[in-house]
Structure 1
């Protein structure tokens, strides 16, 4: 079993999954937003035997709910209805900034950064969740 992390954007959804021990997050892919997005996610959920989903929750820097939180909540409801798996909302403040910084430090070209930024943000979201889970000694 694994945990899936999602960076839910207006044009794409970044996807990451944990390893089987719930210690590390790896980027999987970026899904273009479309009517087929739920189907694509379902295929990944099966392929990686996912037991839980963590989705980035776009709070404002002061901790209040950002304007995209309502859209994220609607998407969470779709995920719950379609897959019946637990979905955890994870504060994603600065995850895209951290992903961007990592890609810049790795000297990834602008075009390539645009292709992978959401997947990298999903890795940061999921890794933060896994680190907190590990620090709290939550059993697998």
Structure 2
């Protein structure tokens, strides 16, 4: 997998955030200046035929994406569990298809919990939130990446 670090990190351009689940994949996109992440779509996860990865590959090309941030759901104590291993495999498969666009892993502990709390606060039904909770988690993943790049001065517009 291509991982952007230091001078390899693209400075400006559209980035994607990806929240990988067992059933759905949430996708978010940034503005070219790297300021704000917004939700795009929730894809059905397709481990057999990789249609979800096909759709991400198309988005990377269509939007001229400079980097993809995939959420890494570590356990609270920081270790990799089953979900983190699955996210690493997904990121590796995606990176192979979109090279030389870098794929970075972003610690996403509690992003889905945060997304669900937002819906709980607004009393959104479980059925209504199902379609967008993964997008909101992807927004959180991408915003964490954007904020980190801005704080280090690497994502100047």
Bin of the TM-score, shorter chain as denominator length: over 0.9
The answer on 1:47 being equivalent to 2:62 is yes
Unaligned runs of 5+ in 2: 1-12
Supply the RMSD in Å over aligned alpha carbons: 1.2
Instruction: Establish whether residue 20 from structure 1 lines up as the match of residue 38 from structure 2.
Output: no
Indicate the structure with greater strand content.
1
Q: Tell me the secondary structure at the aligned position of residue 82 of structure 2.
A: coil
Q: Which residue of 2 aligns with 1:100?
A: 116
Per-residue CA deviation, residues 45-66 of structure 1 (Å, 9 max, x unaligned), is 1222211000000100011112
1:73 counterpart residue number: 88
- CA shift, 1:43, in A, is 1.9
Question: Which residue number corresponds to residue 112 of structure 1?
Answer: 128
Aligned to 1:111, what secondary structure does the other structure show? helix
Provide TM-score, normalisation by structure 2. 0.84
* SS of residue in 1 equivalent to 2:68: strand
After TM superposition, the score normalised by the length of structure 1 is 0.93
**What is the CA-CA distance between 1:27 and the residue it aligns to?**
0.4
Query: Size of the alignment, in residue pairs?
Result: 140
Q: CA deviation at 1:103?
A: 2.1
Deviation at 1:131, TM superposition (A): 0.9
Q: Give 4+ residue runs of structure 1 displaced > 3 Å after superposition.
A: none
Q: Distance in 2 between matches of 1:94 and 1:139?
A: 25
Number of the residue aligned with 1:30:
42
**Per-residue displacement from partner, 1:84-130 (whole Å, max 9, x unpaired)?**
02111100001001111122223323211111111110001111111
